[in-house]
């Protein structure tokens, strides 16, 4: 992505009125992935703009029917051709990486067939490299960007999970890994509302993926239809938080299009190819920070963030840091998410921790921060009256007791 293209991209995202989604899609996969991140930020670009950008979750450009057939003919394993009874020509959904078509196996099982769009990988990696060079120039003029919302770390993270998504075998592997964790935690931290789709590895490969057809609605569809209850959201946060803070292995791209609520009320995580890791030296201080906030123990919360520094700063720096944090969180307990965005607070918090206490969030911290952006964006769109961290208090307590967080 060239400088002028990036400037126009930012203008399309931030300008008043509708963005040119067709133009954004023409700029390639990186532009689409960055748009999906902005689509969760009504506090940054407004609610109506977010609603428009959220079309990029499920309504990406589609592959022509003849090209789709050619991909299957050239790339699908022989077992696939021997097992498919019927396949819809028109896609069920199109996403940034690929698209899915509904079909049926000769056994009678209903499935979806996902294919990767052609030439994505090379162009995507080329665009990332160009934009990283641009961001490195920015860091040279502002070194603190390396630790505060480092744009290179953001791009590296987007590059990592997207590259893994481009090999559909990783989706089977990621789903199996997350399911194994769920089963291991069944006694100490049960998650009965979570399940994963059935995959057919013998019919799949790097370019073609066959999985069960899940009857239900995505979170995005539930949000649009205004029937996403708070009970469901808080349970989703409990599940995702357990993976993120307690285990350190979690779904790295759980946007509203990647979670289905099936007909039995289960959360079904899809697009499981982007599994992320969060090291304890980052996830544990952040867990302690949010746990203390939920108890309105502000000094405990501020102390927790000092754990992100390589060594404890001088007492003068600690005092300045806590004074600045006290200002940021002066009315925290009195405001809902709609009145005070969690993401906005986190950005101010990260900046204060870096500038005053020498904290280093590094590349490892971004997957967690990005997941928190998704969670915050969901609440802003559905239940802006909620005080999210206070509501999360019981789950945070359960994390400590059930997952052995100390």
Span 90-133, pLDDT tens digits: 888 877 777 899 999 999 999 999 998 766 777 787 888 888 77
Sign of CA dihedral 79, 85, 91, 94: negative
Q: Quick one: residue 358, left, alpha or beta (phi over 0 = left, psi -120 to 50 = alpha)? A: left
Q: What is the mean pLDDT of residues 270-296?
A: 90
Measured CA angle at 221 (ends 218, 224), to 5 deg: 150
Q: Which residue has the higher pLDDT, 31 or 211?
A: 211
Poorest-confidence range of 74-78, 150-154, 325-329? 150-154
Q: What is the mean pLDDT of residues 85-91?
A: 93
CA distance 151 to 190: 37
Terminal CA-to-CA distance of the chain, rounded, Å? 44
Nearest to 247 by CA among 182, 160, 158, 301: 182
pTM above 0.85, yes or no: no
Poorest-confidence range of 4-18, 64-78, 270-284, 346-360? 346-360
CA distance 195 to 181: 12
Q: Three-state SS for 101?
A: strand
The pLDDT, as a whole number, for residue 145 is: 46
The share of the chain scoring above pLDDT 90, in percent, equals 43
Query: 170 pLDDT band (50/70/90 cuts)?
Result: very high
């Amino acid at each position: 992505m060239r400088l002028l293209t990036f400037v126009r991209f930012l203008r399309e995202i931030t300008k008043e009125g509708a963005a040119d989604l067709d133009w954004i899609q023409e700029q390639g996969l990186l532009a689409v992935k960055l748009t999906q991140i902005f689509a969760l930020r009504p506090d940054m670009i407004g609610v109506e703009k977010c609603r428009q950008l959220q079309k990029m979750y499920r309504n990406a450009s589609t592959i022509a029917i003849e090209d789709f057939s050619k991909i299957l003919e050239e790339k699908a394993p022989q077992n696939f051709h021997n097992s498919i009874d019927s396949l819809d020509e028109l896609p069920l959904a199109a996403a940034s990486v690929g698209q899915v078509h509904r079909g049926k196996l000769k056994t009678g099982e209903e499935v979806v067939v996902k294919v990767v769009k052609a030439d994505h990988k090379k162009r995507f990696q080329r665009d990332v490299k160009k934009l990283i060079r641009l961001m490195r120039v920015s860091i040279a003029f502002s070194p603190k960007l390396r630790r505060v919302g480092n744009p290179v770390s953001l791009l590296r993270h987007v590059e990592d999970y997207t590259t893994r998504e481009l090999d559909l075998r990783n989706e089977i592997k990621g789903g199996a890994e997350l399911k194994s964790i769920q089963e291991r935690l069944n006694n100490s931290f049960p998650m009965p509302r979570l399940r994963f789709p059935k995959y057919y590895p013998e019919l799949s490969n790097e370019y073609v993926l066959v999985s069960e057809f899940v009857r239900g609605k995505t979170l995005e569809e539930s949000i649009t239809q205004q029937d996403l209850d708070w009970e469901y959201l808080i349970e989703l946060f409990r599940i995702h938080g357990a993976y993120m803070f307690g285990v350190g292995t979690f779904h790295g791209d759980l946007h509203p299009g990647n979670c289905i609520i099936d007909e039995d009320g289960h959360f079904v995580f899809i697009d499981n190819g982007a599994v992320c890791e969060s090291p304890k030296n980052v996830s544990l201080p952040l867990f302690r920070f949010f746990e203390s906030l939920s108890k309105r123990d502000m000094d405990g919360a501020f102390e927790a963030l000092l754990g992100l520094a390589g060594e404890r700063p001088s007492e003068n720096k600690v005092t300045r840091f806590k004074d600045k944090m006290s200002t940021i969180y002066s009315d925290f307990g009195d405001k809902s998410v709609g009145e005070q965005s969690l993401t906005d607070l986190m950005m101010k918090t990260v900046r204060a921790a870096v500038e005053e206490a020498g904290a280093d969030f590094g590349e490892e911290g971004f997957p967690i921060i990005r997941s928190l952006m998704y969670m915050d964006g969901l609440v802003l769109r559905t239940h802006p009256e909620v005080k999210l961290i206070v509501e999360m208090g019981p789950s945070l307590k359960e994390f400590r007791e059930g997952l052995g967080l100390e």
